[in-house]
Amino acid sequence: MTKEQFSALVVQYERLVYTVCFQLVHNAAAAEDLTQETFLSAYLHRDTMPAGYERQWLGRIAANKAKDHLQSAWNRHAVLPGDEEMPPGLAPPAEEVALQRSGAADIQAAIEGLREPYGPVCRLCLLEEKSPEEAALALGRPVKTIHTQLSRGKRLLREKLERSEGHGAV
C-alpha cells in the first residue's frame, strides 16, 4: 500500500475511527489522540491489513486503543506506591484530598465497628483488598458464605454511612 493509498484510507475512515474512540472514552481530546494512534499503528502494520476489510480492521484497532487507554494507570490517575506526587494538572485540590482522607477514616471506622460475622469479612475484603477466596481461606469459611457476608456487610456499611451523613458522626 502506497502513502497516497493510505492517505485516502485515512480521509475515508477518520470519522469512523474518531467515533469509535469517542464512544468508548467519552472525551473529545482523548478520542482525537487515540484516532492518531490508531492510524499510526495501522500505517506501521499496513501490510497485515486484510483486503476488503479495511473498515473492520481500523475499527478493531481503534477499539483496542481506546480500551488500552481506559485501562491505563495514567488514565485512572492512579497513584502507585512510592509515587506520591502527581503531575500538576492532575493533582486534586488540597481540600479534596483532605475530604477523601477523612472519608476513608470514617469508612475504616465503620468497617471496624461492624458486628460479627460481617466485620472480619469486610475488613479483609475492603480494607486489606483480599479476594473472597483468600478471605474464606483466612477465616475458615466457605467462599459462598464469604460472598453473602460481604454483600450484607456492604449493605450495613452503606446504611451506617448514610445515617452518619445526616448526624455528622459515624
Q: What is the pTM of this model?
A: 0.46
Kindly state the helix (H) or strand (E) to which residue 60 belongs, with its residue range. helix 54-71
Confidence of residue 38 (pLDDT cuts 50, 70, 90): very high
Given a cut of 90, whether residue 155 has pLDDT beyond it is no
Q: pLDDT per residue over 123-152, tens digit each?
A: 888 777 788 888 889 889 898 999 899 888
Q: pLDDT per residue over 61-117, tens digit each?
A: 999 999 988 887 565 554 444 444 545 555 555 544 544 555 666 777 778 888 888
